[in-house]
Amino acid sequence: MTPPSLRRAAALLAMLAVPAAALAQAAVEGRVELPKGLHAPVMNKRYGIVAFGGVLSPFPPVAVVYLEGAFPRPAAPATAQMVQKDLMFLPWLLPVQVGTRVEFPNLDDTYHNIFSYSPAKRFDLGRYRSDERPIPSVLFDVPGLVTLHCDIHEHMRALILVVDTPHFVVSDPQGRYRLDGLPAGRYVLKAWLDSKTTLERPVLTQSGSTLHADFP
Amino acid sequence: MKAAAGIRPFAPLRALGVPILLMLALGPSALGQDDLFDKVDDQLTFGAWNDALRVRLSGTLDLEGYYLGQPAPGLIFSEGNEIFNPRLTLFLDVQLGPRLYAFVESRADDGFDPGEAGPPVRLDEYALRFTPWGDGRLNLQVGKFATVVGNWAVRHGSWDNPFITAPLPYENLTGIWDTIAAHSADEVLVWAGVEPRPNRGGEFLDEYRNVPVIWGPSYSSGASVFGEIGKVDYAFELKNTSLSSRPETWAPTETQWQHPTFSGRVAYLPDEMWTFGFSASAGPYLQPSAEPTLVAGRGLDQYLEVVLGQDMSFAWHHVQVWAEVYEARFEIPEVGNADTQAYYVEAKYKFTPQFFGALRWNQQLFSTLPDGAEGAVRWSRNVERLDIGPGYRLTAHLQVKLQYSLEHQDADSQNWGYMLAAQFTARF
């Protein structure tokens, strides 16, 4: 048995030692002070006939709040989706646990070409349309921030934050968040705001209670 | 006079060194730079009135090096074997509500074409577009902008174009001058370099007077109407100069608008993979300053350039293919019609997420003109060219491309020409 496997087994045993009901009862909630929102992108329509009206939604500022600790990875790989609709990525920020496969369905009636050169995942899905099956997907197996672009539509950009924990949530545009179903114990609570800013604070979660933790 | 300079063994490295050195220097650390460029992009996007008005400043910095044989191919105007051609391009895109869009492209370089030594800072494109309906069925645009003809102008930017130079129909100089009207086939042959220039020695002396079928993206001035109805795209434009006209004539103040050029393109898109287009254009190819040289009793509008074009494109996963065929006619009263056919087939493939390669085969064939002695002479040299272009994207904002071109002309001497080029592009 390899050392990481031993650690995972130890963590699993530790959790089994706690009554199952207590495991699901701890929660953390609070508010993250969000940075100023970005303007909606401006589409480059210089040479193309763009059938879409050209009104793009602004990126609402949000945070990803996650609990860092030694948690077991899921037995089966999880699946998430980031769609391309109206020449935008939706959602523009997607947190996933390490080992998650993300599908990228194209819901527009034009080609998209998603790629990323981020160190955490380098890929290029090529050009594909809405009826492409299976839906093009990528396995995100290394923690880190992955910036996505479209090779055809310069304004399209999105982020996938790959975290090594099953406990994460995206805040609402006011910065409010709530993490449920947490195990009791001492952990580090982190709030990711952008590629350069991740706030953190130690927390002690207790079964049956909700901890209030604001950032900053 | 252009003359082949002596070839030095390390000259290619010197000419291409800057782009290649930048690739080597930035390669290992470039992946971390994406975030910086994305943040710059965020900072250069402005909004007002709840984002009803949005403005984005963006651009590209191109550092190009050419190592070439003489005569220089296409729209490269140099008497030497090496050229370093830096270029900064700034774009301003403005969206006002869903109906109004405007863009401006300005450039700072050594001239529109390498070695041309034109104005160092220019407003190459500017246009205002009105879109009455959100479905794109109708757009009205006025300004100075790339032609609607063909499928190369929409992808001619250094970031999107897998090659550094344009396809042959957009840059191969014919025997037609736009500053003096031809009066005989012999004159055209001299201008084409097929016949030696009397008393002038060098056959490439006045290369800059010659024109191609289409001069690059043809940023001439005028108005266009275009849109998308179901699976059909259409675009029509009225411009101040013909497709072959040189950059100095593109500004709206350079012509009196008495002899406009009409162009159009209709394309059928059965699905996202395929596009089949048909283009046509007609307009006088002589500049107004050529009026005193016209044959007596003739007007500028009798010296027409008529162009018919067919284009196709295909894209699927990591493959892209483009092809265009042009039939062009330069009408020369009292001499005849100087006809030419030019085409290219181009393919690009992404071998890995960052490494791509492209291959392009180009050919231009010229018809004959009556030689005045009941015979006929070919009015320019037939040309074939193979372009090979590997490229590498260091990041989503940094790219390096190489191009090797091997050209063959039907000529008595100097049949073969070559060019090696490298281009480093930073997009922000």
Q: What pLDDT score was predicted for residue A20?
A: 44
Indicate the SS3 state at residue B137.
coil
Instruction: Give residue-wise pLDDT tens across range B5-14.
Output: 344 545 566 6
Report yes or no on A33 lying in a domain: yes
Which residues from B are below 8 Å from A195, CB to CB?
Answer: 35
Query: Pick from A111, A118, A195: which is nearest to B315 by CB?
Result: A111
Report yes or no on A153 lying in a domain: yes
Range B198-224 burial, b when 16+ CB lie within 10 A, else e: eeeeebbebbbebbbbbbbbbbbbbeb
Report yes or no on A169 lying in a domain: no
Residue A35 forms contact with B (CB below 8 Å): no
Contact B132, B193 (CB under 8 A): no
- State how far the Cα of B398 lies from the Cα of B164, in Å rounded to an integer: 15
Nearest-by-CA chain A residue for B135: A51
Range B343-365 burial, b when 16+ CB lie within 10 A, else e: bbbbbbebeebbebbbbbbbbbe
- State how far the Cα of B75 lies from the Cα of B244, in Å rounded to an integer: 12
Cβ–Cβ gap B353/A123 under 8 Å: yes
Among all chains, which residue has been given the structure tokens 């009104």?
A55
Q: How far is residue B174 from each of residues A73, B329, B342, B382, B383, measured CA to CA in Å?
A: 68, 11, 11, 10, 10
Nearest-by-CA chain B residue for A41: B45
Same domain, A159 and A210: no
> Who wins on pLDDT, A39 or B163?
B163
- State how far the Cα of A194 lies from the Cα of A187, in Å rounded to an integer: 22
Distance in Å, alpha carbon of B300 to nearest chain A alpha carbon: 31
Which residues from A are below 8 Å from B38, CB to CB?
Answer: 147, 157
Same domain, A48 and A88: no
Same domain, A143 and A212: no
Distance in Å, alpha carbon of A60 to nearest chain B alpha carbon: 13
Report yes or no on A170 lying in a domain: no
Tokens of B192: 């084409």
Instruction: Give residue-wise pLDDT tens across range B24-66.
Output: 666 656 655 678 888 888 889 999 998 889 999 999 999 999 9
Query: Pick from B31, B125, B272: which is nearest to A117 by CB?
Result: B31
Cβ–Cβ gap B98/A124 under 8 Å: no
Q: Is the pLDDT of residue A43 over 80?
A: yes
Q: What pLDDT score was predicted for residue B10?
A: 54
Predicted complex ipTM: 0.87
Across B150-285, the runs of DSSP E, i.e. the strands, are: 221-229, 232-239, 261-268, 274-284
Same domain, A84 and A160: yes
Residue A51 forms contact with B (CB below 8 Å): yes
- Interface A-B, measured as beta-carbon pairs within 8 A, has a size of 121
Q: Residue A183 sits in which domain range?
A: 1-52+64-71+178-216
∠B329-B330-B332 over CA atoms, to 5°?
Answer: 130
Report yes or no on A31 lying in a domain: yes
Same domain, A81 and A154: yes
Among all chains, which residue has been given the structure tokens 């005028």?
B222
Nearest-by-CA chain A residue for B54: A42
Query: Pick from B31, B272, B354: which is nearest to A111 by CB?
Result: B272
Report yes or no on A59 lying in a domain: no
Indicate the SS3 state at residue B138.
coil
Report yes or no on A172 lying in a domain: no
What mean pLDDT, rounded, does chain B reach? 89
**List of residues 6+ apart from A122 with CB closer than 8 A:** A116, B353, B354
Q: What is the mean pLDDT of residues B107-131?
A: 89
Residue A49 forms contact with B (CB below 8 Å): yes
Report yes or no on A171 lying in a domain: no
CATH of the domain at A100: 2.60.40.420
Contact A100, A79 (CB under 8 A): yes
Same domain, A139 and A83: yes
Same domain, A128 and A211: no
Q: Could you state, in order of their start, the residue ranges of all structural domains in chain B?
A: 11-427
Phi-psi region of B189 (alpha: psi -120 to 50; beta: other; left: phi over 0): alpha
- State how far the Cα of B384 lies from the Cα of B381, in Å rounded to an integer: 10
Same domain, A160 and A131: yes
Instruction: Give residue-wise pLDDT tens across range B153-195.
Output: 999 999 999 999 999 999 999 999 999 999 988 889 888 888 7
What are the φ/ψ torsions at residue A199 (nearest 5 degrees)? -90, 150
Calculate the CA B107 to chain-centre distance. 15
CATH topology of domain B11-427: Porin (2.40.160)
